[in-house]
Structure 1
Amino acid sequence: MASALTSEIPGADPAWHRRHDHPYFKESHYKLQRFVREYVDREIAPNVEEWERNAEVPEAAFKRHASLGFLAASAFPIPKEYVKGVTLPAGLSVDEWDEFHDAIIIDEMARCACLGTIWGINGGATVGGPPPRPLWVATAEGKISCSSSAWTATSLSLFGSDVAGLTTIAKKTPDGKHYVLSGEKKWVTQGRWATHGLVAARTGPAGAKGISVFIVPLDNEKISKRKIENSGVSSSGSTYMEFDEILVPAENLLGKENQGFEIIMSTFAHERLWVGITALRLGRVAYEDSYRYALKRETFGKPLFENQVIRQKFSRMANLLEPTQAYVEELVYRSVRLPSLDFSPLAAMLKVQAAHNLEKISRETQQVFGGLGYSRQGQGQRVEQISRDVRVLVVSGGSEEILLDMIAKQQRKLAHL
């Protein structure tokens, strides 16, 4: 696949691609965008169909991804004091990295059009916690390292669903040196090959005030793992795990006991921003592929695009993409300038809007392709893949029903009404 800075298809890329006039970009942003686009086009996109079919991203691809600095850049904001000297993508330095570099990687990685690969090669790579616990961060070698520990991991999974009401339990041993962890976790991304996991467990009373988070070695005979068969995201390593009274060293507690809820919740705003950016780009991918097809596919003696009803489909899809792009740009800018409580409902709005838009675009682009949009091979392959992945973006990071209620409550509270 030939790589270009921008697609010739109108609407396939944001408007700033054509003019290099983004109001917040410096030369380093354009450099990074080109670097990631060429990397995805050359090393990721040609392989996603095979990786999805095999339900795994090869270890060599994962290590290559790490060697280019993508895992080190996956934390947001980057903990600069822990990654000094680490090479980031495009050879950029830690000191010049900002929120728009983060957004560029999210956006360009999504051009591979396979959510399973995005999660399988980059998801769950970096974790951390408040003082006095050290911060764990992915290094350029693709390992998880800790400032006060010698043990490392080739990948790390983050899991702990049903946050305030979770039932996984961790009890401290009488000597205080370990916790005994029992319970189960579902939909653990990278769970089949991760060597460590960030696990939320109940250590105190019911509700949010009794949750703690642990870094757990997963190479343990008392941990059973089973592959989860999903509609899509096959290469993400989605796993069901059971913990049968495993011992976790007390020093693996992240942050303080019973204060893990804050750690978990602190990730949600950026996760929802990530979902918004990813859903927007997947919408552009489906739009671009169907646009190309409509230009060359002939029906009743003329190209499909020459039918007014088809042109209207593309105009309606563009009317979903471009306003969302403007909102993304605003939220990326505000992500480091607003208090987290103020930013949270805005990110939730983006997540709901972008995922809902992708559902509509997925349907319309499959309509343009006809039967080819239902095939896992050929010209409509990416559109078909997106149609299976879209639902997990609608649900992940909070379903729209829950988020819409949360948005209204949070905004009223912020307004002191």
Structure 2
Amino acid sequence: MAQKTAQTIPSKTHTREEVAKHTAEDDIWCIIDHKVYDVSDFLDAHPGGSYVLQQVAGQDATTAFYNLHRHEVLQKYPDLCIGTIEGEKSEVVDPQPGDLSQVPYGEPVWLTPQFKSPYYNDSHRALQRAVREFVDRDIYPEAQEKEADGTYISQELTDKMAASGNNLLAMRLGPGKHLENRGPLLGNVKPEEFDYFHDLIVAQELSRAKARGFQDGNMAGMMISLSAVRNWANDKDLMEKVTDECLSGKKFMCLAVTEAFAGSDVAGIRTTATKTPDGKHYIISGTKKWITNGIFADYFVTGCKTEKGFSVILVPRDDNVETKRIKTSYSGAAATTFIQFDNVKVPVNHLLGKEDNGFIVIMSNFNHERWAMACGVIRWMRTITEECMKWSNQRLVFGKPLISQPVIRQKLAAMISRTEACQSWLESITYQMNNMSYAQQNKLLGGPIGLLKSYATKCGGEVASEAVNIFGGRGITQTGMGRFVEQFHRTYKFDAILGGAEEVLADLGVRQAVKFMPKAML
């Protein structure tokens, strides 16, 4: 898919009377937003058929066009524009890479000029501008392509994200020492300035690639696994080696915990790690299922049963590791995988944390993963709300815009309310993360983050359902104006399941609250 670029309009001007003369089958002009288009050679290529174009030959087709298309369609075919109407100026906004949306509620409050926020500073704003432009120019085109054909992220894009002065791969892990000595980050943000609001910006802007499978395929596996290596590796040289390999884009990794018999029930894991008689290696055997990025991973942060409990071990890929793709309801670009470990030999220095005490490794790692998933699904809710705002204002039904119907306005009100409520809660928790140590976050925020993710995905389901009804048939069609609505309705459940199901996380939130319940209140 071609990336959006500024449309260079030919300087030549035409009159409406001149346009009206071009109505022959091999000579068709029309007017859209005060610009003149020669579609004579586009008839056979037009996805909607040639007859539709013949119907508007020589006419102003602005209303007809925008009743069926978004402006981005015109941006894909700039060569069709041959000039403008004399004495007239374009009225439709022509968004460019990096631009903020001008649609009400199309951006969070802090990015809306009329409003203020206590959480964000100039550094955050610089990063947001830089990441958005990078997403629009470099990630969005590939994301759409990979989402459609199911192939994995390219090495070229990976290298761009890893490059000095960009460091998007490193930023995926959040604040920390891994950002040191990497030079300035995207937007000239200093590594020591990078906090969880920068992290939130990266997570939400990346989701604007609008490709849910590719979104997970874009190093989500690394984000949720390399953090465990950095926080829990016993061999610091090994930790630095793996960090450098992954953050440079040379190698890839994933988190391999879930099994057919053990999803949220981590205690049910059957993959085993048995020490060799000399005590120098683990022999790992078993299977893992639904593992994001597993197909192309070089390292697997693997949950295993050990002699007296549960342990987490960093397993390098070798000939005894077999990976197979699992077909899911979103794109194969996520590289969702079934893994079989067949007597894989791993040095004992690859143990993360303490042997038989791996639950703390996994559970503490969940907080950032679940928080990042909440960031993504909340941004998707905003994207879909924006799509519905655009559609309901441009779609004509019974001679009036769809937005004139009270029932549509009620649906939009509900979508806006859920999105803004979730964003506010997300920012409140992010502020706490900025003011807590890693240990404090593990103790105090597991429950709130679990409740946030559970609530956000439930709200996402409501937004998805309302959006499909607003778009009608287009809301269940994988091409055209409703394709992102269809995609979100089909894939929001990934956020509701991955990283802990809604019900499990809701229960976690209440159980953690009960732990802090004062006995004097009983």
Question: Do the structures match in fold with TM over 0.5?
Answer: yes
SS of 2:125 mapped into structure 1? helix
1:231 positional shift: 0.4
Aligned to 2:295: 192
SS of 1:232 mapped into structure 2? coil
Using the alignment, how far apart are the partners of 2:251 and 2:174 within structure 1? 20
Is the alpha carbon distance of 1:140 and 1:267 closer, same or farther for their aligned partners in structure 2, counting shifts above 3 Å?
closer
Alpha-carbon contact 1:372-1:380 (below 8 Å) kept: yes
Is the alpha carbon distance of 1:347 and 1:83 closer, same or farther for their aligned partners in structure 2, counting shifts above 3 Å?
same
Write out aligned runs for 1:46-61 (5 A).
46-55=141-150, 56-61=152-157
1:298 positional shift: 0.8
Aligned to 2:377: 279
The more displaced of 249-258 and 285-294 is 249-258
1:238 positional shift: 0.5
Using the alignment, how far apart are the partners of 1:349 and 1:187 within structure 2? 23
Using the alignment, how far apart are the partners of 1:336 and 1:204 within structure 2? 38
Using the alignment, how far apart are the partners of 1:177 and 1:83 within structure 2? 33
1:259 positional shift: 2.2
SS of 2:344 mapped into structure 1? strand
1:360 positional shift: 0.7
Using the alignment, how far apart are the partners of 1:227 and 1:353 within structure 2? 30
Q: Which amino acid aligns with 1:13?
A: E
Residues 1:165 and 2:268 are matched in the alignment: yes
Residues 1:15 and 2:134 are matched in the alignment: no
Aligned to 1:369: 471
Aligned to 1:269: 367
Q: Which amino acid aligns with 2:452?
A: L
Is the alpha carbon distance of 1:344 and 1:168 closer, same or farther for their aligned partners in structure 2, counting shifts above 3 Å?
same
Alpha-carbon contact 1:72-1:140 (below 8 Å) kept: no
Aligned to 2:140: 45
Gap runs ≥5 in structure 1 = 146-151
Using the alignment, how far apart are the partners of 1:5 and 1:49 within structure 2? 19
Q: Which amino acid aligns with 1:323?
A: A
Is the alpha carbon distance of 1:316 and 1:262 closer, same or farther for their aligned partners in structure 2, counting shifts above 3 Å?
same
Residue of structure 1 aligned with 2:185, choices 88, 96, 99: 88
Using the alignment, how far apart are the partners of 2:234 and 2:313 within structure 1? 14
Using the alignment, how far apart are the partners of 1:244 and 1:312 within structure 2? 56
Aligned to 2:492: 390
Q: Which amino acid aligns with 2:508?
A: M
Residue of structure 1 aligned with 2:432, choices 300, 311, 334: 334
Gap runs ≥5 in structure 2 = 5-95
Q: Which amino acid aligns with 2:338?
A: Y
TM-score, scaled to structure 1: 0.92
Alpha-carbon contact 1:138-1:144 (below 8 Å) kept: no
Residue of structure 1 aligned with 2:458, choices 335, 347, 356: 356
Q: Percent identity?
A: 32
Using the alignment, how far apart are the partners of 2:477 and 2:390 within structure 1? 17
Using the alignment, how far apart are the partners of 2:377 and 2:431 within structure 1? 18
Q: Which amino acid aligns with 1:298?
A: L
Deviations 1:243-279 (A, max 9, x none): 1111111221122212221111111112221121111
Is the alpha carbon distance of 1:139 and 1:311 closer, same or farther for their aligned partners in structure 2, counting shifts above 3 Å?
farther
Using the alignment, how far apart are the partners of 1:42 and 1:114 within structure 2? 15
Aligned to 1:247: 345
Deviations 1:304-339 (A, max 9, x none): 111111111111111111111111110000124342
Aligned to 2:219: 122
RMSD: 2.1
Residues 1:402 and 2:500 are matched in the alignment: no
SS of 2:355 mapped into structure 1? coil
Write out aligned runs for 1:196-275 (5 A).
196-205=299-308, 210-218=309-317, 220-275=318-373
Deviations 1:217-237 (A, max 9, x none): 11x222221100000142111
Using the alignment, how far apart are the partners of 2:242 and 2:500 within structure 1? 30
Using the alignment, how far apart are the partners of 2:120 and 2:291 within structure 1? 35
1:100 positional shift: 0.7
TM-score, scaled to structure 2: 0.74
1:137 positional shift: 6.2
User: Following superposition, which runs of at least 4 residues in structure 1 exceed 4 angstroms of deviation?
Assistant: 137-142
Aligned to 2:82: none
Aligned to 2:32: none
Alpha-carbon contact 1:273-1:351 (below 8 Å) kept: yes
Aligned to 2:199: 102
